[in-house]
Amino acid sequence: MKKLLFATLVALAVGTFAIRAQNPPAAQAPTADPYANNPKPGASQFPLAAPAGKDSGARQTAPAGAVNQGPFDPATWKYGSAFDPPAGARIWNPVRLKMMQGGKVTGGTLFSSTDPATYCAMASAGYDFIWTEMQHDQRDWNAAARMWRTCPTAKAVPGTRVAYTDEREIQHALDAGALVVVVPTVDTVEEAIEARNWTYFPPLGRRSNGGGQAFDANMWGGVPGGYRNTINDNIVLILMIETLEGLKNADEIAKVPGVTALFAASGDLGNFSGYRQGAPDYERAINIVHDAAFKAGVRLCGPLAWRDRPDFTCFQAGSETAAIARGVAAELGPLANTQGKPEVGPYSTTK
């Protein structure tokens, strides 16, 4: 009886092993939680760890087999290949791809709405990206993140104009899933480098790898090659030139590695120069931005009204409220604005 029981247990074990071999566990879906895959405490081995209670001398001497030998020096550090994109990785952000191909890219402006349904309607309307306004509106990042994750694969990718060049501001945008980042009022090369640093992961930038919904499988966690390894090649960074100081430094700003495009701010270049569109002084300012982008080989952005202006290939379109008004007018045609005209009451036209 004991022999029979033993044989049965062995058969079950072998059968279970065979089933597992034929059907290995499915890979865990990428998650926004960077700590989800922490190993069990006490189960890890640390063969290269410093000896207990001793100075390892790591500042002066590298372990055997290390790429970076000799005294530790950030200035000469050779960056590792752990986060390189896979061989043959392809661009998956349609905006970045279209820009690389020389196409004209348009962003629809979501100015005041925090309603996911409104955002998704805009994102499905035909724009290339949605310019979620965070500089001149009062919404918070939680509201923006909620809208973006409602329909992440709509035709238009999520994008935003942040309020200013800042680590917290830009990383909130990226961790929430932004694929287009617009930075306003860039006046100096130092500001351009700061914007670049918080937009890109090392070695190009200084973005922290802290998680966020962008890493989730429902957003970009499942892209070919993985989000962390490919996002530097897919992000779009647009810097706005809006002031006289920005014009002065536009040539050098455009040359900062990682800058995808310059935006000639149609309104604020008038605001800061004191001239309106069409005036020679105003047009000179716009042409300075044009020349800076042209010489640096980056894209040139402006308002949608400039879509036929030479060399402009990136545009900001109107807001959701303007789009509703235009859409209703187009839909109704001759029936638009033919309301009845009572002689009394709040709708009276004879007050």
The pLDDT of residue 12 is above 70: no
Condensed to tens digits (0 to 9), the pLDDT of residues 189-205 reads 999 999 999 999 999 99
CB count in 10 Å sphere of residue 277: 14
Query: Would you state the pLDDT for residue 36?
Result: 78
Query: Would you state the pLDDT for residue 11?
Result: 45
pLDDT (average), residues 146-169: 95
Q: Give 17's contacts (C-beta < 8 A, 6+ positions apart).
A: none
Query: Would you state the pLDDT for residue 48?
Result: 93
Condensed to tens digits (0 to 9), the pLDDT of residues 247-288 reads 999 999 999 999 999 999 999 999 999 999 999 999 999 999
Cis? peptide before 203, omega within 30° of 0? yes
Measured between its terminal Cα atoms, the distance across the chain in Å is 105
Number of H helices, E strands in the chain: 12, 8
Condensed to tens digits (0 to 9), the pLDDT of residues 219-255 reads 999 999 999 999 999 999 999 999 999 999 999 999 9
